[in-house]
Every structure is written in structure tokens, then in C-alpha cells.
Amino acid sequence: MPSLFSGYRLGGLSLPNRTVMAPMGRVRAAAGGLATPSMATYYAQRATAGLIITEGIQPSLIGQSNPGTPGLHTDEQRDSWRQVTEAVHVNGGRVFAQIMHGGRVSHPETTGFQPVGPSAVAGAGSVFTPSGPRPMPVPRALPTDEVADHVHSYAHAARRAVDAGFDGVELHGANGYLISQFLSSNANLRDDRYGGSIAHRIRFAVEAAAATVEAVGATRTGIRLSPGGGIWDAVEDDAVELNTALLTELARLDLAYVHLEGTADEDTLLRLRHAWPGTLVVSPTMPGGAKRTGKSEADHWLGLGADLIAFGRAFLANPDLVERLRTGLPLAPVDEDTFYQGGDDGYITYPSYRHTA
């Protein structure tokens, strides 16, 4: 069984260990969706991870889900990210940008637009807006001839990401956002080539991945999936069959990796491991759940065939997480009140472990 601390070759990158910093929204971008010096510090502090995957970055204004999130759809946004990638690289790290189109998980108060989705079906629950939580609105169903614009928005953002110095990109195909909505059996009620059968519902995800591969190369393109997760009310009634078909098609593209979240039982995830011949990143625990991924969960999944292990909240309060895991040092607790409050407190103020005499 490989060690969490052994090296790994990911495309053109040599990773010093198998830990991945999972993408986590922190809503601290400047006006206009710009990356900031504090964001550069935040990611640079965690550069000992084998790979950093950034928070979700919108590929278009209409694709923005929450207020305060960064973008990669303007040249100014691209230029603002260079301070982040340079800081990570100077500190010896590697970083992928997660490209995240919110689809129906958005609000006109945030973007100025009616959200879009595969069908005019509102999700359950509330979304964040500049004036507080609001019920998810009914999205505008994308006409067939407009779908391609949103497919290619991922590729356009990926080009800007690579131009900004990112080592690659991860398409956010999980957690109820746009790609996940097209995969869903209740958010996608279309009867054209993007809806109905499994072969049609996976088409948007495959086309987005293929367009991104064409834009920046397969070794720079990964995708994150949440099999059967049901997050933001995007249900997959046929999760095993659906995701197996999707992985079969994605395998033809020879992507850098697939990133599976722990949203399904172990047997389901193992079946998907067998369906995917390439590098597999696993987030062992449910996003936002009570349990935090630790070394025992990481070792368990490495033994089951995962290649890389993504850690989420543990990286927030422990910028030196890799060293703490390596040496058995205690992990600092995270202050959940500072997750999304803005400012530097609870963002770049967590120290590395301090030994006492």
C-alpha cells in the first residue's frame, strides 16, 4: 500500500506527497471577483500539500453562485490570480483552479441575471445573496442552442487559469452545481440530447471536459463528482449506472484525475474506482458533514485503491497539515464562525504547530 507521504506523478507534475487540499469556498474575493494578497498568503501557507485545489471560481458572471467569490472570466481577474500562483510556486507548491458554474444555485441579487439550469426547476432551500439567504429561484431553462456557450465557459476559464500560472484546473461536476444539475434525475427534465437517458444526461459533463482538454490539455484537466450526493437538491436516482457511464466516457479523454467525494457508500465508490482507469482522488467524508478526514481515513482509502486523498476542513486550521499528519502532532480545531465572514481572521491567522519545552 502506498504511503500518504510518498511521492506521486500527476501528469507533468511531481507531487511530494499524496495529500490534496480540497476546494473550499471562503468568499473573500475583492470587488469584481478579483483575487487578493490575502488569498495569495492563504494558499501559500498550505503549499506543502501535494496538490492544492482552489475554492470554486466562476467561469462567467451568470455562473457565479455566491457573493464574494472569485472569477476567471475577465483579463483583470486572470491577472489578479498571478499573485496567488506565484506565491504557491515560490513556496514549492502545485495548484489547480476549480472552475465552478453555479447554474440554478444562484440569485439575481448576486449576479443581476436570472440563474440558468437544464430545466425550469427550482432547487429546494435557500442561497446566499448580498442581503441574506433567499429561496432558490426558478432558473431559466437553457435552450439547446445556448448550452454550448456554457460548455465552453469552462474551457475559456481554463485558458485564463493556465495563463495566470495555474498548473491545471478541476471542473466542479459535484454538489448540485451546473454539471451536477445536468447529471441529475430531478433537476434535468429535458427531452433533447442533453436530457432523458443516462447517455444524454452525461453529455454536458463530457462536452465540458472535452472542451477543457482541447483548451489546456488532458494532463491539466480533472473533474470532481459527488455520486448520489443529492446536494442542493440535485438527485441522482441511478447513481451507479450514471457515474459508471460518465467515467467510461471521461476515460476516453485521459483526464489528469477524477475526484470522488464520499457522498455514496463504500461499495458504490469501489465500483466507480474499478470503472475509472486513471488517477483517483478521494474525499473520504461527506462535504459539510460532522466527520473530518484524518490519517486513518486516508490510509483506508489508499489501501482500497485511491491514489490521492483530499482533506478539507483540516487544512483550514492547520496550514502545516502534512507535517502534523506525518509526525502525529495534534490538529488544531477550526473556528466555523470565520468560514465566510471575510477578513483575515480565521483565514491567514492559523499558525503552524508550536513546540513547547
First to last CA, the chain: 36
Grid coordinates representing 78 are 486572470
Pairing of strands 126-127, 134-135: antiparallel
Question: DSSP E strands: which ranges in 134-270?
Answer: 134-135, 140-141, 168-172, 221-225, 257-261
Residues 6+ apart with CB under 8 A from 29: 35, 36, 39, 68, 69, 70, 71
Q: Does the annotation mark 257 as catalytic? A: no
42, 43, 154, 177: which one is catalytic? Answer: 177
**How many other β-carbons are positioned within 10 Å of the β-carbon of residue 144?**
12
Burial tier of 215 (Cβ tally within 10 Å: 0-12, 13-18, 19+): buried
Residue the block writes with cell 506527497:
17
| Residue in 78, 44, 85 with CA at minimum distance from that of residue 59 | 78
CA angle 260, 210, 227 (to 5 degrees): 20
- The catalytic site residues sit at 177
